[in-house]
Amino acid sequence: MKPPIRAILPSMLAFLAETKKAMLGFLDDFFTEVGEDYGKINRWGPDTLPRLRDFLSGGKMIRGGLVRFTHDMHRGLALGDAVAAGAAMELFQSAFLIHDDIMDRDLVRRGKPSVHAQYRSLCAAEGLRDADRVGEALGICAGDIAIFLAFEILASLRSDPGTACRLLRLFSRELQYVGLAQMADVHNGASDRPISREETLAMYRYKTGRYTFSLPFAAGLVLAGAGEAAVDDFTRLGETLGLLFQIKDDELGIWGREAELGKPVGSDVAENKKTLYREILFRRAAGPARDRLAAVFGGPAPSAADLDFVREQLETSGVRGEVAALVDGLSAEAGRLITSLAAGKGEPWREMLEELLAFNLGRTK
């Protein structure tokens, strides 16, 4: 049975807020230290660090918080390293979002200009030739710097060398998976080849699921000294939560509210993203309706009427119901895993995992 959708409760909210505050404090100290060196290089050092700090602080920083979550759940003794590794996780996340906005041509992120859009405006104000291209190039560089900063943090942890190496291998391999899945996503968006459900879910698993939940879960466990069995179990939970997270993202991209999302509704349609909704819709659509859908997906920015037509087709053809059934199954699986993984850890930890599941199902942005 699907767990009831409810707002994330104060216990998890308070934990994540406390951890976000700790991560930002760590990053402020780290950026101050790094900035002393950056300021000697050129004008972009003093520019880039505050811009990255502002960008990542605008998010919930859930991924970083989950590193500490599993560390604390398993009674780890490396709290400082858990906070630092969580901060590194958020720098990786910022890099991917910055690069993703460039690839998707998204000029808004979290209700503000995306990083490359900020640089485009800066270059235009300076009268540079081809300001848009230069702004995108500067955005790519800022994202790269975020990645290198994150690895510097991981290389500076105080845990024993064996644990540190295990953690570095974990991050390196999982981030490679994200890159490969992103390549599939970009290529699929430009291709007319039908994408199977298996391919779609595999992309979700490696672009979003493991990276958003499995990786931070595993990182916290490694820092707590947990064995591979525990890491494997939480990896499965993370994949399930991640699939739910991505499916919810797809739903919000069609039915969400732009004011809450902080980015245009319908951007996935314009980019012809091969989402689960699209895969089922095009498998079922026929005749004039399919022709119009083919013109809308991957065409110019869809009009309000275009999006209304897409929503109508998703409802009347039963696509939304089919996706809802899949979500029910994944939710039940996540619930079973949570019960098993929290056994013996204490009631608060189980409740917090259940709240994380509920948040995934009920979020509006």
Give the list of residues 6+ apart from residue 292 with CB closer than 8 angstroms, or none.
309
Domains of the chain: 10-362 (1.10.600.10)
Other residues' Cβ atoms within 10 Å of the Cβ of residue 53: 16
HSE toward the beta carbon, residue 157, CA cutoff 13 A: 29
pLDDT at residue number 2: 41
pLDDT at residue number 49: 96
Cα(62)–Cα(213) distance, integer angstroms = 9
pLDDT at residue number 10: 56
Nearest residue to 154 via CA among 143, 144, 164, 145: 164
Kindly state the greatest CA–CA separation across the chain.
Answer: 64
Cα(296)–Cα(272) distance, integer angstroms = 9
Backbone phi, then psi, for 194, in 5-degree steps? -60, 135
Q: Name the CA radius of gyration of the chain, rounded.
A: 21
Q: What CA–CA distances, in Å, run from 243 to 158, 219, 323?
A: 33, 19, 12
Where does the chain show beta strands of DSSP type E? 108-109, 112-113
Backbone phi, then psi, for 108, in 5-degree steps? -130, 140
The parts of the chain modelled with pLDDT lower than 50 are: 1-9
**Predicted confidence (pLDDT) per residue in 63-94, tens digit:** 999 999 999 999 999 999 999 999 999 999 99
What DSSP state is assigned to residue 74? T
pLDDT at residue number 45: 93
Three-state SS at 266? coil
